Amino acid sequence: MANTMSAKEAAALWNISERRISTLCKEGRIAGAKKDGRNWIIPTDAEKPADKRVKTGAYRKTVRKTALPLPVGVSDYRLASTEYYYVDKTMMIKDFLDEKPMVSLFTRPRRFGKTLNMDMLRTFFEKADEDTSVYFKDKKIWVCGEKYRVCQGKYPVIFITFKDIKFNTWEETFEAIRDVFSKEAARHIELQTSDKCNEYEKKAFENLLAGDVSEVELSGALLNLSGMLHKHHGVAPIIIIDEYDIPIQQGYMRGYYDNVILFMRNLFSGGLKDNKHLSYGFLTGILRVAKESIFSGLNNLTIHSVLDNKYSSYFGFTSEEVKEMAAYYGVSDKYEELCEWYDGYRFGKTEIFNPWSVINYFNNECEPRAFWQSTGSNDIIGEVIAEADREIYERLTSLVNGESFTTYIDTGVIYPQIKNDPSTIYSFLLVAGYLKVLKTTPSFNGDFMCEVALPNKEIALVYHKEILQKLNDIIPQPVAISIQEAIFSGDQDRLKDLIQTLLTQSVSAFDTAGENFYHGFMLGLCALLGGAFVSSNRESGDGRYDIQLRPTKKNLPGIIIELKAAKKCSDAELKRLSEAALQQIIDKKYDTELTIAGVKTVYKYGVAFSGKRVAVTMGQ
């Protein structure tokens, strides 16, 4: 019902339990609440009863508390869970304690809550001077029983994050890692005067604290620090390494890969392999790089990738969590738009929303944008695309048309494979968050054959900007500006000449390319243009247009482009093909969407390709 909410939605809105909502309804303390079968239905404009002195159906009007702010960029669990709207992921702790794997690696795309979850684990498990149970007593984990509560505040914790280790040289990287360990040592300053540790250990600790350590000494820091914490507290510590693979990616891109791999191998071997001073270990990253022998011989490592079911709901938001958030902020009617833009990921068997984008969507007054686009570097993906052959590039461009395809996926893909096997692009795109899995079939060697597609509208836009930016190498900025001027001024002859020049100067693959390839070429070209929102292969009128440019400014026209391709056409045949494309725009009324949006002028382009030749016919 449009003007009602469930007890669960009311619980989220008023920040009390669902059971308490049911009790209030039974007591007649929520005005207008009615029983529908076994469930309570509550008016959306109902307000939380003031206190227990309201004992009948008489309704006491109170001022609703201001909604909690949104945690944009907040990765501190204590802050997020007390001062912001927090999506409760604490049942991850229960799942872990039920299984107790020795060392767990979670691989997820960037901005999917890895750091916040690791800080949640740190806050739950870490021994502290303050009573940190207050951060969990109103969370789901606390009602799970004493079995789980006794683990709260029990362990010393070593927490290392490499998320900001992005430097051009190994020297700078080593200095930054050394600084991270120095700051972590400062969190355990009690070790400096511990009567449980010997003088040799204290001296090593002081050197680590001061940042006065060699590469060899720093590579043993996890082992040494965990040993001292074990002695001092009488409990072996938990080690958490957040975004462990960022320095590895930087090393690959900047030419110091061998240095960082050797260091990481020694660091993790000491801290995580056969370390008697370790209770549990947690690592997060985008890629699993076990094949690089960083975790060589680490037989106690449990890996949870985007294809695995365990822990699948804890990174990103589930549909129920997004519905509850939308209800809390009074915009339940925006759920379908949220699905179109930010849903579509599948981790294991769980449908997942991009949490960064959902939070920014609500924070941006529910105006959809590609919020995820600028949140990190994708140099690796750009490099893979630069190595791609025509078949791979055609497959990538087909994704923009809403198509899917089946490909081999290796979730353990490693950086050196890029040069040797460009087809690893699909594995990189999947683990980095640019693809979703529609269907998974195990392959003979333990990996997977997956049917993949683009997850949502946001990624389609990100795809234009980051994936199809390969065209930047083909299209100089002055030429892109000239093409933009030609398109928005309706100059079909100039547009034809510019595209023709680009085709002539670009790769030979155009000689045998099909329509999908030209579609990707034109779509990427349009993505480089300013002043318009680009969309592709969407319904409008009586069919689906190829490309549409909806202007961001009122004085600009809307653009519809229909593409045709044929092999070995004469100039006359090519011109007739472009005219047929234009006629299709007119007959199918592809400009309907723009007209409804209030665009007054629409330029319609029929564009036909044959090899490196092009014909353009424009109409209004």
**pTM of the model as a whole:** 0.73
pLDDT in tens, 153-185: 999 999 999 999 999 999 999 999 999 999 999
Residues 359 and 73: their CA atoms lie apart, in Å, by 9
In a domain, 568, yes or no: yes
pLDDT in tens, 69-98: 999 999 999 999 999 999 999 999 999 999
Q: What is the mean pLDDT of residues 586-608?
A: 90
- What SS3 state is found at 604? strand
In this model, does residue 119 exceed pLDDT 80? yes
In this model, does residue 395 exceed pLDDT 60? yes
Determine the pLDDT at residue 91: 97
Amino acid letter, 285: G
Q: What is the mean pLDDT of residues 7-34?
A: 78
Other C-beta atoms closer than 10 Å to the C-beta of 37 total 6
Which residues lie below 8 Å from residue 239, measured CB to CB, with a gap of 6+? 157, 158, 160, 222, 226, 271, 272, 278, 280, 281, 282
Q: Which long-range contacts (CB under 8 A, 24 or more apart) does 51-60 make?
A: 54/29, 55/27, 55/29, 56/28, 57/28, 57/29, 57/31, 59/31
Residue scoring higher pLDDT (412 or 316): 316
Predicted confidence band of residue 60 (pLDDT cuts 50, 70, 90): very low
Determine the pLDDT at residue 531: 67
The CATH number assigned to the domain holding 190 equals 3.40.50
Residue 565 forms beta bridges with which residues?
609
Q: What is the mean pLDDT of residues 519-544?
A: 75
Predicted confidence band of residue 59 (pLDDT cuts 50, 70, 90): very low
- Does 579 share its domain with 536? yes
- Does 478 share its domain with 449? no
In a domain, 496, yes or no: yes
Q: Which two tokens stand for residue 438?
A: 């529609």
Backbone angles phi and psi of 541, in degrees to 5? 65, -125
Determine the pLDDT at residue 613: 86
Q: Cα 152 to the chain's mean position, in Å?
A: 30
In a domain, 578, yes or no: yes
Determine the pLDDT at residue 268: 92
In this model, does residue 53 exceed pLDDT 50? no
Residues 438 and 404: their CA atoms lie apart, in Å, by 8
Half-sphere exposure of 42 (CA within 13 A, CB side): 29
Domain that holds residue 246: 89-304
Q: What is the mean pLDDT of residues 46-57?
A: 52
Most confident of 10-19, 303-312, 351-360, 467-476: 351-360
Lowest mean pLDDT among 20-24, 281-285, 293-297: 293-297
Other C-beta atoms closer than 10 Å to the C-beta of 290 total 16
In a domain, 20, yes or no: yes
- Does 431 share its domain with 355? no
In this model, does residue 61 exceed pLDDT 50? no
Residue scoring higher pLDDT (402 or 177): 177
In this model, does residue 218 exceed pLDDT 50? yes
- Does 329 share its domain with 296? no
- Does 425 share its domain with 357? no
- Does 105 share its domain with 234? yes
Q: Cα–Cα–Cα angle for 286, 291, 295, nearest 5°?
A: 85
- Does 448 share its domain with 509? no
In a domain, 163, yes or no: yes
- Does 2 share its domain with 24? yes
- Does 60 share its domain with 111? no
User: Residue 285 burial by CB count (10 A; 0-12/13-18/19+): exposed, middle or buried?
Assistant: buried
Q: Nearest CA to 302 among 530, 560, 41, 96?
A: 96
Which residues lie below 8 Å from residue 596, measured CB to CB, with a gap of 6+? none
In this model, does residue 449 exceed pLDDT 70? yes
Predicted confidence band of residue 52 (pLDDT cuts 50, 70, 90): very low
In a domain, 311, yes or no: no
Q: Are 266 and 296 in contact (CB under 8 A)?
A: no
In the chain, how many domains are there?
5
In a domain, 448, yes or no: yes
Mean predicted lDDT score pLDDT of the chain: 85
Most confident of 22-26, 42-46, 201-205, 556-560: 201-205
Pick the last residue of a domain from 344, 373, 402. 373
Determine the pLDDT at residue 180: 97
- Does 360 share its domain with 413? no
Q: What is the mean pLDDT of residues 478-483?
A: 79
Q: What is the mean pLDDT of residues 134-160?
A: 96
Q: Are 304 and 106 in contact (CB under 8 A)?
A: yes
In a domain, 349, yes or no: yes
Determine the pLDDT at residue 578: 92
Pick the last residue of a domain from 249, 270, 304. 304
- Does 292 share its domain with 330? no
DSSP tag of 471: G
- Does 299 share its domain with 327? no
Pick the last residue of a domain from 423, 438, 460. 460
The CATH number assigned to the domain holding 47 equals 1.10.1660
